[in-house]
Amino acid sequence: MDSEEINDESDHDDQNSPGYYTRSKRRKLNKKQLEVATVSSPDLTERKRKNPIMFVPSEILQTVFKYVSHHELSGSIRLVNRRFKINAENVLNLAFKKIEKNLNVLIKNAEVSLAYTQDDMEIKCVSKLLNMLEILKVQYSIVMSTIWRYVYNEYYRTNRSCMYGGLLIDTHNIFLWKFVHYPNLLYAPAVVKDYALPQEVTRIIQMTKTFCVHFDKVNEEALHNCLVYSGCKVIDILDCAKFIQKLVLDEKVTSDTFVARYNYFFQNSWFIGLPISVTKEMEWNQKQRMMHMRLRRVVLAHNDMFLQQAQYERELILRPGPTIRIKKPGNNVYTGYGDVMDTFFYYGVMNDGAYIQKFHLDEDNDEDEVDEEVQNQAGNGPHANVPRNNSEEDIFYQIAHLGFRMNIEVRCPLSYAPLKILEKLDTNQQDILKKKHKTKGPTGISIVFECEGASYPRLPTIYEYHFKPKLL
């Protein structure tokens, strides 16, 4: 990325050099020529040093930048000078915020179209387009939960950055342009092959993961007390999950303090922290970044699995008599793992089809065959009195196979509260927060993961994680 320029200073011949630098004598000028040179010299210097575009007002300069791709703005133009940097970043930040508005408008239009459409094939095409918009809306919320405190933060002072993911913005705009002008290019792959996505959506999903990890590592981890600046970022990420059970056990907002207790339950998911021997040392801000990444992966995978199931059920309702059979989502499983110092993490999500295949294999069997098999096994052999597996007599059968619960306790200054809390504040409270020059107070987040299904393979069912930064 950084280029190094090496200038050779040996501009003279070493053999003929008298030991010092020489230059030609200055030619004498008469009085008239001297006056002309004295008047014109500053003007020439000013013209050489100042480029005319530097005198253009910022509004016009930003209008010119709109004709350049956001990828070039973030990767090239933003690095020219300070003035270009300020105006390019302003264009990038506004462009990303505009994506959310466009997605919301198109989602409403697609829902209205479905209400007035009668043709079965047209319903299928519009529903596929609506599915893509919902996927992009989830991806957008994940990016916003990662960057808003450093890009769009109006509640307290922190290290400022920008939405430098120009290629991500460009890909969104390409998709939106095709959606408005050539929607057939988007829904055609999904109509031919169920659950297939166009190239733009697939790239956005991948770039979202990459960008969030890069932003955490480059922009946030480098801060001296990054947990304090990021505030309740854990809750911002968890609030992006659309198909979970969330209980607000306690939530108190005072003039300068935020205290809350939440309970999140992820269905068909697991999260296990297994103690191991220390393999490598890691600072606490790196551990925080890894936890944010881990939770983000779980949320994205959970949304992907259950959003696909919800979209399938919606299409069944919209198309009661389909001309082409509506294919059920395939069995999908997502797993992730990794070690951080003295803990090995294993987490994942599976959809309903994979869950049924994994834990309820006898549901598709005929009832008579099951009864006959049980009768043949009962009363025979030395283990006749042992409780049957997966029966009401088996104590482990009462434990859920999958699903983990998160109990979160938060205590922090009001400025560091989750985004949804800050948006609900009245105008006076928001103005008070904006006028504060420095935020003081303890910041602590305690998370307890409970995964009862881990008792089957004799793994730990509880893992505790605590964020305890130093006071600023």
Structure tokens at 168: 């991500």
d(CA 409, CA 81): 45
Tens of pLDDT, residue by residue over 50-62, are 677 777 888 888 8
Its domain, for residue 431, covers 226-282+300-363+391-472
* Residue 43 in domain: no
Same domain, 273 and 138: no
The length of the chain, given as a count of residues: 472
pLDDT at 41: 52
- Of 188, 220, 252, at which residue does a domain stop? 220
Whether the predicted pLDDT of 84 surpasses 60: yes
d(CA 63, CA 246): 44
* Residue 66 in domain: yes
Give 158's strand partners.
none
**What average pLDDT does range 447-467 have in this prediction?**
91
Name the helix (H) or strand (E) containing 204: helix 199-215
Number of domains in the chain: 2
Whether the predicted pLDDT of 205 surpasses 90: yes
Q: Are 93 and 152 in contact (CB under 8 A)?
A: yes
* Residue 330 in domain: yes
Give 444's strand partners.
411
d(CA 303, CA 297): 10
**What average pLDDT does range 35-47 have in this prediction?**
52
pLDDT at 404: 93
**What average pLDDT does range 73-82 have in this prediction?**
90
Q: Are 421 and 439 in contact (CB under 8 A)?
A: no
pLDDT at 27: 56
Whether the predicted pLDDT of 15 surpasses 50: no
- Of 176, 199, 220, at which residue does a domain stop? 220
Same domain, 262 and 201: no
* Residue 188 in domain: yes
Whether the predicted pLDDT of 428 surpasses 70: yes
DSSP assignment of 395-426: GGGGS-SS-EEEEEEEEEEGGGS-HHHHHHS-
Give 412's strand partners.
258
Percentage of the chain exceeding pLDDT 90 = 49
- Of 220, 235, 256, at which residue does a domain stop? 220
Same domain, 238 and 154: no
d(CA 81, CA 67): 19
Tens of pLDDT, residue by residue over 250-297, are 999 988 899 999 999 999 999 999 998 887 778 888 888 999 999 999
Using alpha carbons only, how large is the chain's radius of gyration in Å? 31
Whether the predicted pLDDT of 158 surpasses 50: yes
Same domain, 176 and 265: no
Same domain, 141 and 205: yes
Same domain, 113 and 258: no
Structure tokens at 360: 């309820």
d(CA 50, CA 432): 42
* Residue 28 in domain: no
- Among 128-132, 209-213, 245-249, 376-380, which stretch is predicted with the lowest mean pLDDT? 376-380
* Residue 132 in domain: yes
Tens of pLDDT, residue by residue over 377-399, are 434 444 444 444 444 444 444 56
Alpha helices (H) in 221-351, listed in sequence order: 226-230, 233-238, 284-318
Local confidence band at 26 (pLDDT 50, 70, 90 cut-offs): low
* Residue 427 in domain: yes
**Sheet of strand 444-450, all strands in order from the earlier edge strand to the far edge:** 245-253, 257-266, 404-413, 444-450, 462-467
Same domain, 147 and 232: no
Same domain, 127 and 270: no
Same domain, 135 and 237: no
* Residue 26 in domain: no
Same domain, 235 and 193: no
Same domain, 153 and 240: no
Q: Which residue reads 């309740």 in tokens?
A: 232
Same domain, 190 and 261: no
